[in-house]
Amino acid sequence: MANLKLYKDGNNMCFACSPRNPIGLKLKFEHDGDVCRSRFTGGAEHQGWNGVVHGGIVATLLDEVMAQWIWARDLITMTAEMTIRYSRFVPVGEELTVEANMVSMKGRLVEMAARIILPDGSVAARASAKFLKVKT
């Protein structure tokens, strides 16, 4: 994939992961076998309701950890569909663990799963998503 370098040029301003984006989340990722993981602590600027991380930020965290799992395997994809189940509020000021793993890969379709884990070990949100490989 010669065009892969166009996507991994280090000049990105990704809202979720770029260290260069002044208003971004600046997420960092680690890979542990088949799991991609990040940690995030929301601040006042990430709130929806008082003391609660905005649902759109929660969606971004879930989408990004799944995309990073794929990205680490040198695949270029775009999110085609994502379903989220919010089961607990996500508190501001507490360190969250965001994890993803692959469910299946067939042809151009990569199916992923992700979750946000609160400090007490409970899962606040889960996502399932379909990513399509981009032709480069």
pLDDT digits (tens, 9 = 90+) for 63-95: 999 999 999 999 999 999 999 999 999 999 999
pLDDT of residue 13: 87
Predicted pLDDT at 135: 81
pLDDT at 2: 42
pLDDT in tens, the chain (136 residues): 445 555 555 668 888 998 989 999 999 999 999 999 999 999 999 999 999 999 999 999 999 999 999 999 999 999 999 999 999 999 999 999 999 999 999 999 999 999 999 999 999 999 999 999 998 7
Residue-range definition of the domain harbouring residue 77: 29-133
What is the rounded distance in angstroms from the CA atom of residue 75 to the CA atom of residue 80?
A: 15
Domain harbouring 106, CATH code: 3.10.129.10
Number of domains, the chain = 1
- Residue 49 in domain: yes
